[in-house]
Structure formats: structure tokens, C-alpha cells
């Protein structure tokens, strides 16, 4: 079937379409808003896509595939790059054989994140090129440009999306044709793939040489766009901020950057020389402004107060006017809360009544911090509930230490909770510890994605299942319990009190399906059972009553 010449797509969908049309052989990632839909769409389009236990694993799997000459795509939200940072920095040294595009979906304004870090600095620190699309068309085009750069210089490339680009629709014209690749194969290249110091030192020099070449490419790249206007005011910008700038200052000259690492210094220097006042308007940290001022280019950064939250047309107007007066406060909205019928509600009710000190984690269960429960005392990052709770247990007096409980979700437990259990078994606190895994059978917060604990793949087909309670037993936890907190809350409370008073290492799996995901999960299980029954019937013919 012929592909339409125009499509109305979200930015995330555009990345998926580009990857599919470019012949990406493998897409991997960990679900996280605002990146999640990329791999789901890629799978719907027929691409091979899979959820990994965490972002580090996803990147390493993609790296292995790229070593064999395949084109690969890795997706994650901005904080996921922290998890993947270890292999990322060395992947810049080893390079790739095929292509590797890492999508970092940043979240200015923290719509669904614990911080609003600006991942442009990761591209600089790791030494990898970075492209920043402004809309869905550019998300499509820049995905292909990233593949092209990655293959030409054999280097991972970051595609930095932001929430508004990921979740905004615009018309996309698919307009890129890649030649087909040879089937993946492995060619031994020990000096470039094994980063012992003797091989890593020359690899670092090779990386810097590549970046110098890519900077020359960036200075001449067609991914930048220049809009001639008044010579009184020039604006350097990138990403979705460009759209705000166009509306706020229609008469200004604008240089919109597509590749923001390496920074095209000479291109910007020529632009700045043509205008009397040159302002850098960028979302997040003053990344470009700092670079340009260090290079001796007279640009004006935004006032510091605008590094917080997203930009919009009004805020851009204020920046251009030098207005640093307090911004109008937004009307207070309704606080989020756990769903009615959520299986976590009885757990938090019990934790609150027992006056527990709760080390919490990332997921929709973080909402347990809000009234009426207020039953979460810390929340740092994925997997930190177990280890932060252990730290508290080590130093608090026994009467307080016995109140400490670590609470973590099922997907998060597989993501980065496992090393915390190893630490708990290896360095047990004197009072023991209690870990509660809130197992609702899905990755609820990001839209009900599968994970290794559900026993289903990204497209909901059956696969091997990581059984959470068996993992805890295998790691050496002395007491492991599985209970449904909604079926008998009083029995669950008694179990929790027994664990808190035991001075042992206790692991409680509080298992009940997410109320929103339950119908889908039952349907997936019904289909799996049908397929299993069909396979068990000789010849594939099932008779009535069998």
C-alpha cells in the first residue's frame, strides 16, 4: 500500500515513522513520559520494539546491535539518561558500526518528572552530536539526519525532544529515502570495542577528531534556518522555543539551530555580527548563551528567572523587554490523587495509621505523599526507596528504625530495585528492614506498559516472566510474603506489624491489578490462554467440549 504524502502526527509518532522508514532494525527503551509513545508507535508500524528493564540495559542492547551494523533507536525520558550515562560515555569512544540514535525526551516545567534537567549538557559531557527538532516534521527529518550522522561518523547521536514537541501534532511529509542495509554481521575490531586504557586513550583522540569534523558539518548544515528581519534585533534559538519566538517577535531576524552540539560557532558569529542586539532565547539552562559568550560572541542571555519552567509567547515577550517583574501566578489546580479503587489506597492507609517512616519511589504510588495519607517521607529517583530506607535503618535509634518501610512499584523494582535488595542482604541493618512492592501488574503511570514482571512483551504477547517474590528469595531475603491488600486489609496490617517487629529482612508483595489496567490484562491473559490451548490441540483443530 502506498504511503500518504502527508500525515498529521505527534512528534513521538513522527520519530517512529522516520525510524520505520529508515529501516531501523531494533527499538529499545524504558517507558517514561513524554517519550513512551515512540516505541509503541514503532511497534504498531511493524518495527521490532521492546521494553527493557531500565534505560542502561536498553542502550547496551542497542549498542550491541549497532556493533553488528544495524540501525537502532533508544528512547527514554530525560532522567533515564542518568541511568544510561555509564554506557553512553564509553559508547562515544567505541563508536558504532550501524547507527544508534538516543532520544532524550526532556520535560521543562516538570509535568511528570522529579526534576527539569537540561540534557543538552549530556551531549557535551559525553561528546556526542545532538539535534533539536521544533515540531513533528523536524522530529521526522532530524531522526533521519541523526541516523545519517551516526552512520557517517560511526558515533551515537542524541535527538533531544521536549514535552511540547513530543505531544504536539503537525503535518509531516515523509521525504527521506535510505538505501537498504546489508544484513547485520559482526566484524572483529578489538581495539575499537574493548576500552582498556591502552585502547581508550586513542579512542578519546578519535572522538575529538570526529567532533571537529561534525562541528564543520554543523556550521554548514541545512538543519539550521535563518529568517531575515530587522537588523535591530536578532534572536538565536532552538527547539520548540522557535515557534514562540516567531509569534512574539515577527519582525526580528532569527537563527534557529537544528544541531546544537557541536555548537555551530562560526555560523552564529556571522549572524550576530549582522544585528545590533542579539538575544539567546532557549528553554531550560543558559546552555547556548554560555557557549557563545565563552566564544567571545556578544549575545544577551535570558534573565535567570526564566530558566525555570517552559517558555511561551508571553514569557518570550517579557524576556525581550527585559521584564524581570514577578510573573502572574497561575490559579491553583486540583491536586492529583490515587484513583478511586486503587489497590494502593489500603496500603497507604495502613502505613499512615502505623506512623511508618516511608522511603518512597517513582510511580503513580508517589501520590501517597498527598492528603489524606501523607504516607511518604522521601522520594529521590528510581530504585532509591530501598537504599534510602536502608540508610535510615542504619543510623536511627531502634524504636525509630523499626518504623522505616521502603515502598516501590513492580516495574520500578525490576528497573533499579534489585541492587537495593542485594545491598539489604549484604549489609543488613540491626533492626532488619521491610520492603513493600506494590505490584499492580503494569507500569501504570506512563500508560500501562508491560515490564519483565508482567510476563508479556511490548505488544502484550506472552514471554518469560520475572517473578518478583522468587527473585527476593533467590537473593537471600529471609521472609517473603505475597498478599492482596484489598481482599483483607486487616490481615495485611497484621502482616506488616509482624514484619516491623521481627528484626528480620522482610519482603512483602502487595499484589492486586491496577483498576484501570485490569480489563486489558485479563484480555491479554485470555488471548494467551486461547493461543496455548490451540497449540495443545493436535493438528490445531479443537473439538467442541475439549
CATH of residue 176's domain is 3.40.50.970
Return the HEC string of 414-440: HHHHHHHHHHHHHCCCCCCEEEEEEEC
Asked if residue 308 and residue 173 are part of one domain, the reply reads no
Residue 378 lies in a domain: yes
Residue whose cell numbers read 527499538: 27
Residue 252 forms beta bridges with which residues? 230
Residue 508 lies in a domain: yes
Average per-residue pLDDT for the chain: 93
Domain count within the chain = 3
Q: Rounded mean pLDDT of 244-249?
A: 97
Where b means 16+ CB within 10 Å and e means fewer, 211-240 reads: beebbebbbebebbeeeebeeebbbbbbbb
Residue 335 lies in a domain: no
Q: Which domain holds residue 292?
A: 225-321
Measured distance CA(439)–CA(442) in Å, rounded: 8
Asked if residue 255 and residue 198 are part of one domain, the reply reads no
Q: Look at residue 332 in the predicted model and tell me its pLDDT.
A: 79
Q: Rounded mean pLDDT of 492-521?
A: 96
Q: Which range, of 2-16, 253-267, 297-311, averages the lowest pLDDT?
A: 2-16
Asked if residue 172 and residue 101 are part of one domain, the reply reads yes
Asked if residue 263 and residue 144 are part of one domain, the reply reads no
Asked if residue 347 and residue 280 are part of one domain, the reply reads no
pLDDT at 367 over 90: yes
Q: Rounded mean pLDDT of 112-134?
A: 94
Q: Rounded mean pLDDT of 190-194?
A: 92
pLDDT digits (tens, 9 = 90+) for 155-178: 999 999 999 999 999 999 998 778
Residue 328 lies in a domain: no
Asked if residue 176 and residue 246 are part of one domain, the reply reads no
Asked if residue 507 and residue 427 are part of one domain, the reply reads yes
Measured distance CA(334)–CA(360) in Å, rounded: 23
- % of the chain surpassing 90 pLDDT: 88
Asked if residue 364 and residue 316 are part of one domain, the reply reads no
The closest alpha carbon to 485, from 508, 506, 509, 510, belongs to: 510
Asked if residue 207 and residue 230 are part of one domain, the reply reads no
pLDDT at 531 over 80: no
User: Which one-letter DSSP state was computed for residue 3?
Assistant: P
pLDDT at 534 over 60: no
pLDDT at 371 over 50: yes
Asked if residue 253 and residue 155 are part of one domain, the reply reads no
Q: Look at residue 111 in the predicted model and tell me its pLDDT.
A: 85
pLDDT at 346 over 70: yes
| Domain final position from 286, 321, 356 | 321
User: Which one-letter DSSP state was computed for residue 397?
Assistant: -
Q: Which range, of 84-88, 332-336, 478-482, averages the lowest pLDDT?
A: 332-336
Task: Extract the C-alpha cell encoding 431.
Answer: 533492626
Asked if residue 176 and residue 233 are part of one domain, the reply reads no
Asked if residue 313 and residue 300 are part of one domain, the reply reads yes
Q: Are strands 71-77 and 7-10 parallel, antiparallel or unpaired?
A: unpaired
Residue 501 lies in a domain: yes
Q: Which range, of 26-30, 44-48, 372-376, averages the lowest pLDDT?
A: 372-376
Q: Look at residue 532 in the predicted model and tell me its pLDDT.
A: 56
The closest alpha carbon to 103, from 189, 29, 178, belongs to: 29
First to last CA, the chain: 41
Cα 156 vs. chain centroid, distance in angstroms? 17
Amino acid at each position: 500500500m502506498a504511503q500518504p504524502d502527508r500525515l498529521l502526527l505527534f512528534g513521538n509518532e513522527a520519530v517512529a515513522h522516520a525510524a520505520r522508514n529508515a529501516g531501523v532494525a531494533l527499538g529499545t527503551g524504558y517507558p517514561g513520559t513524554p517519550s513512551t509513545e515512540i516505541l509503541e508507535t514503532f511497534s504498531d508500524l511493524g518495527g521490532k520494539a521492546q521494553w527493557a528493564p531500565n534505560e542502561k540495559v536498553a542502550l547496551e542492547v542497542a549498542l550491541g546491535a549497532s556493533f553488528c551494523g544495524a540501525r537502532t533507536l533508544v528512547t527514554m525520558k530525560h532522567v533515564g539518561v542518568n541511568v544510561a550515562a555509564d554506557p553512553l560515555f564509553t559508547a562515544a569512544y567505541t563508536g558504532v558500526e550501524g547507527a544508534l540514535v538516543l532520544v532524550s525526551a526532556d520535560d521543562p516545567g516538570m509535568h511528570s518528572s522529579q526534576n527539569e534537567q537540561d540534557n543538552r549538557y549530556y551531549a557535551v559531557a559525553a561528546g556526542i552530536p545532538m539535534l533539536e527538532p521544533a515540531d513533528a516534521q523536524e522530529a521526522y527529518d532530524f531522526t533521519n539526519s541523526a541516523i545519517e550522522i551516526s552512520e557517517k561518523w560511526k558515533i551515537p547521536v542524541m535527538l533531544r525532544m521536549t514535552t511540547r514537541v513530543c505531544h504536539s501534532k503537525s503535518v509531516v511529509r515523509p521525504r527521506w529515502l535510505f538505501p537498504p542495509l546489508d544484513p547485520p554481521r559482526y566484524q572483529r575490531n578489538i581495539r575499537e570495542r574493548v576500552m582498556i586504557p591502552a585502547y581508550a586513550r586513542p579512542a578519546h583522540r578519535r572522538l575529538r577528531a570526529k567532533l571537529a569534523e561534525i562541528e564543520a558539518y554543523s556550521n554548514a548544515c541545512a538543519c539550521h534556518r535563518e529568517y531575515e528581519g530587522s537588523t535591530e534585533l536578532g534572536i538565536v534559538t532552538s527547539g520548540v522555543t522557535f515557534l514562540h519566538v516567531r509569534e512574539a517577535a515577527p519582525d526580528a531576524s532569527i537563527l534557529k539551530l537544528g544541531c546544537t552540539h557541536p555548537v555551530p560557532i562560526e555560523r552564529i558569529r556571522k549572524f550576530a555580527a549582522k544585528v545590533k542586539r542579539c538575544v539567546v532565547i532557549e528553554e531550560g539552562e543558559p546552555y547556548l548563551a554560555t557557549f557563545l559568550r565563552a566564544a567571545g560572541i556578544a549575545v544577551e542571555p535570558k534573565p535567570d528567572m526564566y530558566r525555570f519552567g517552559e517558555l511561551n509567547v508571553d514569557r518570550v515577550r517579557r524576556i525581550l523587554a527585559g521584564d524581570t517583574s514577578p510573573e502572574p501566578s497561575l490559579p491553583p489546580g486540583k491536586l492529583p490523587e490515587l484513583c478511586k479503587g486503587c489497590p494502593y489506597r489500603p496500603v497507604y492507609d495502613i502505613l499512615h495509621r502505623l506512623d511508618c517512616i516511608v522511603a518512597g519511589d517513582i510511580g503513580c504510588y508517589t501520590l501517597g505523599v498527598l492528603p489524606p495519607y501523607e504516607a511518604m517521607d522521601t522520594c529521590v529517583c528510581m530504585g532509591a526507596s530501598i537504599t534510602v530506607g536502608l540508610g535510615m535503618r542504619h543510623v536511627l535509634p531502634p524504636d525509630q528504625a523499626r518504623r522505616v518501610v521502603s515502598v516501590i512499584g513492580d516495574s520500578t523494582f525490576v528497573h533499579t530495585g534489585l541492587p537495593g535488595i542485594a545491598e539489604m542482604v549484604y549489609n543488613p541493618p540491626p533492626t532488619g528492614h521491610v520492603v513493600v512492592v506494590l505490584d499492580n501488574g503494569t507500569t501504570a503511570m506512563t500508560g500501562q506498559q508491560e515490564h519483565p514482571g508482567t510476563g508479556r512483551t511490548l505488544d502484550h504477547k506472552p514471554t518469560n516472566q520475572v517473578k518478583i517474590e522468587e527473585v527476593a528469595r533467590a537473593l537471600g531475603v529471609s521472609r517473603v510474603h505475597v498478599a492482596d491488600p484489598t481482599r483483607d486489609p486487616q490481615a495485611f496490617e497484621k502482616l506488616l506489624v509482624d514484619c516491623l517487629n521481627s528484626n528480620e529482612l522482610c519482603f512483602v508483595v502487595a499484589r492486586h491489578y491496577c483498576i484501570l489496567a485490569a480489563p486489558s490484562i485479563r484480555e491479554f491473559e485470555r488471548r494467551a490462554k486461547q493461543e496455548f490451548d490451540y497449540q495443545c490441540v493436535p493438528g490445531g483443530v479443537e473439538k467442541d467440549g475439549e
